Amino acid sequence: MAATFTPRAVFRTGGRSSLGCSAPRSARPLLSKTHLRPAGPPSQIRYLSGPYGYTQSKALVFSKFGEPIDVLHLHRHSISPSLPDGAVLLRTLAAPVNPSDVNTIQGTYGVKPTFSPLLGTPEPAAIPGNEGCFEVVSVGGKVKTLKKGDWVIPSTTGFGTFRTHAVVENADKALFKIGGEKGIAGLTPVQVATVSVNPCSAYRMLRDYVDLIKLSVDSFSRGSDVSGGAWFLQNGANSGVGRAAIQLGKLWGLRSINVIRERSTAEETDALKQELKDLGATVVITENEFLDRSFGARLKEEFTRGGKEPVMLGLNCVGGKSASAVVKALGPKGTMVTYGGMSRQSFPFPTGPQIFKRLRFEGFWLSEWSKEFPGEKKKTIDEIVELIREGQFKIAPTQEVKWDWDTEENVLKEAVQGTLEGFRTGKGVFLFGET
């Protein structure tokens, strides 16, 4: 996150750094699933200015690890109109709240943030948030690839997106411009803000570990009795990654077996199954069905033609018993890729399947992959953005939380805290208005 902070002189009010402000706790915000219309010209949404052209800004910050409701604070500061030559001033349009953001605040994520004094907080602080869609408000003299009005997203994680504005140095490298020659036509801030983590993760895991497309082509070339494309299996299929994998797999001619948790009623479970099938899922089963002893026979008899079309890739974000069931479902020389552990249950690597089925176990962490392959990340994002624009890819359902200048601190903190709590109808997303 420190990469996006600027020298202290940039954040000033009347020669003194402003201190954090807090608001009293209030009731939980009312979150509702909404469908955004394509955004109009960015100039239709104003931003607030202070004396002498200083931009007034707010950010959620934390100075110690803990639960978001306890450690997050809304901090106000001012941004100087004088930008370094390679920097840009951004205004945030939308910022999703991901489970990894909450884990970062709790101090349980794989990378710890840098607590910095540069925002003028009473104690060194960090800004959470990895994803966001931003509008370029002003540009330093030596910035080459960006101009005022462009929409951009961070090129790496750890950006610190839970804020109304940001000054970003080395902007040509630190930001990806969205839309190319077509610009932002047909796109919304929420669509752009949610493209770089979950869809990108699904894309890379489906393409980088097992060449399922080649397996499909080879199978069809060997005979006419093949019933479809190559199989992959995933737990957590209703997650953002799971929904993305379903849609990308369908576009690439793949078949998927998707495991979900039961809902409160059978009707709700059936509705979710149908929703995922409408996205392109081949098979949707519940966790109980997946863990039942009869599933092995079902897999062989109903789906894989007696094992002639085996499952060669399993995506695991749950761990525990569910991960063990993924291992059992894989065919010889199959691969399981783990990218999460929502059950918080350990998963011992089984000796027998590793030896006798010659299985491969991999881990995927988008943050590290992005550092190694920044060019590939940009290409992946550009491809997914075009699929969204063309109507071939739908983002996961969202719960929008409006962030205006006068939005109370506790409303924002509650939205972050609620990310890991029970069944949700959609991913929480801060949608910025008059800031």
- Evaluate whether 161 touches 130 at the Cβ level (below 8 Å): yes
Q: List the one residue out of 216, 218, 259, 229 whose CA is nearest residue 241.
A: 259
In 252-391, alpha helices (H) = 266-279, 287-291, 295-298, 320-329, 351-356, 366-372, 374-389
* CA–CA distance, 334 with 358 (Å, rounded to integer): 8
Answer yes or no: 109 catalytic: yes
Reading the block at residue 118, the tokens are: 């540069």
Q: List the one residue out of 38, 371, 368, 384 whose CA is nearest residue 195.
A: 384
The single-letter code of the amino acid at 300 is K
Residue of 47, 52, 54, 109 with catalytic role? 109
CA atoms within 13 A of residue 310's CA, in its CB half-sphere = 16
* CA–CA distance, 318 with 235 (Å, rounded to integer): 7
Rounded to whole angstroms, what are the CA distances from 265 to 258, 277, 278, 346? 19, 19, 20, 29
The catalytic residue positions are: 109
